[in-house]
Amino acid sequence: MNKKSICVLLATGLSSAAAMAQQATIPTSGVTISGLLDAGVIYNSTPNGSLFKVDRGNNNRLIFSGIEDLGNGNAATFALQHRFEPANGGVEGGVRPFWQGESRVGLRSNDYGWIRMGRGLTAVQDPNGRYEPFGVATVANTQDQLTAYYVAEEDLTKPANLSAKQSAVPGGEGRWSSAVFYDSPNMAGVVARVSVQPRTGSAVPISTSLTYDNGPISLMAGYEQNNRKTKNIQVAGAYDINGTKIMGSWATNNPVGPLKINGYGLGVNVPISAFVLRAGAAVARSNAAATFSSKKLGVGGMYNLSKRTYLYSDIARGNTLTSAYNVWATDLGIAHKF
């Protein structure tokens, strides 16, 4: 599927569903403070020995968001999301932007959709976490394999890596800064997303996706080109059977040149009363002779103490594209949503 095909698919989806667009109600005006605090004990095996530490299983976040009703189905919106390390209170990773998660302001319309400007997840990276069994969190998450080691914004001060994952700017794995983001209205379960960033390298970064959600079925298709003309295509789906969610993903990463990396994954979430069993397996394969296949297998679960607090534990085994060494990892932690 090439860039032209993706654009045609996007246009077709928009035009065919427009007649069935369903009106949504703009929420009441107000400002909300929310977030997540997650901490746990993490174990990793390494070639040089084992390592225990207090760390996080998920991205800790503090979110300020708001909406102002402008009348006639229109509203002004904003969202700010700070990421931090619970173990020491510092900025996430020590190098990420202060508003790592999001810093966007925009206008939302029942009839015309939602446009925002600032920093946030791209049109492809925003919905793809729905199809990862661990929610792109904990030591068991398989997101690297499922995105074929793609990064949304590469560090252009470093040469292209022809064997594995490209070097990303701080916080640029799935987000763009100084970008424009558009989400269409929900049209009979179909939502189209488009993100564009002004030219930052050898190309104008653009990201497009279509999602479809209707009853037990959820589907996604997306195309993205980053600042080094690395192209990423992702297709994913999930099916809910009486609360049990089965999901699968495929992605291809085509940097400039002959290199190609493909990623595949399967996962399942099984609710058992207050407990949710989670399991997933994924693999990424490169056509570069100097690399290995990257494989990861994980299993674990989360136990809901309440609607806002849960315990989790996982165990995983996997390797990276540049190493055949398999790392064992496990975690035990607690998370609180507010």
Provide the residue count of the chain. Answer: 338
Supply the pLDDT for residue 26.
Answer: 62
Give a yes or no: residue 79 inside a domain: no
Query: How far, in Å, CA of 65 to CA of 74, rounded?
Result: 17
Query: How far, in Å, CA of 118 to CA of 244, rounded?
Result: 37
Question: Which letter does DSSP use for residue 332 in this model?
Answer: E
Supply the pLDDT for residue 10.
Answer: 39
User: Mean pLDDT of residues grouped by 10 in the chain (338 residues)?
Assistant: 45 42 62 97 86 93 97 97 94 94 98 98 97 96 94 92 82 96 97 92 91 98 95 97 97 83 97 98 88 93 98 96 91 98
Give a yes or no: residue 46 inside a domain: yes
For 18-59, where are the E strands, in sequence order? 30-46, 49-55
End-to-end CA distance of the chain: give it in Å, rounded.
42
Give a yes or no: residue 71 inside a domain: no
Q: What is the maximum span of the chain, computed from C-alpha positions, in angstroms?
A: 63
Domain extent, residue 298, equals: 3-22+38-57+123-337
SS3 144: helix
Give a yes or no: residue 86 inside a domain: no
Q: Which of 184, 214, 199, 209 is nearest to 109 (CA)?
A: 184
Query: How far, in Å, CA of 330 to CA of 87, rounded?
Result: 17
SS3 71: strand
Query: How far, in Å, CA of 303 to CA of 334, rounded?
Result: 9
Question: Which letter does DSSP use for residue 112 in this model?
Answer: T
The total of structural domains in the chain comes to 1
Give a yes or no: residue 280 inside a domain: yes
Supply the pLDDT for residue 201.
Answer: 73
Query: Is the four-CA dihedral 146, 148, 151, 155 of positive or negative sign?
Result: positive
CATH of the domain at 165: 2.40.160.10
Buried b (16+ CB within 10 A) or exposed e, 67-76: beeeeeeebe
Supply the pLDDT for residue 213.
Answer: 98
Tokens of residue 326, six digits? 């398999």
Query: How far, in Å, CA of 59 to CA of 66, rounded?
Result: 21
Give a yes or no: residue 265 inside a domain: yes
Give a yes or no: residue 113 inside a domain: no
Please give the C-alpha separations between residue 247 and each of 196, 244, 337, in angstroms, as whole numbers: 28, 10, 25
Q: What number of H helices and E strands is found in the chain?
A: 2, 17
Give a yes or no: residue 108 inside a domain: no
DSSP H stretches of helix in 56-207: 143-146
Tokens of residue 275, six digits? 């407990």
For 226-293, where are the E strands, in sequence order? 231-241, 244-254, 261-272, 275-286
| Count of alpha carbons within 13 angstroms of residue 215, beta-carbon side | 2
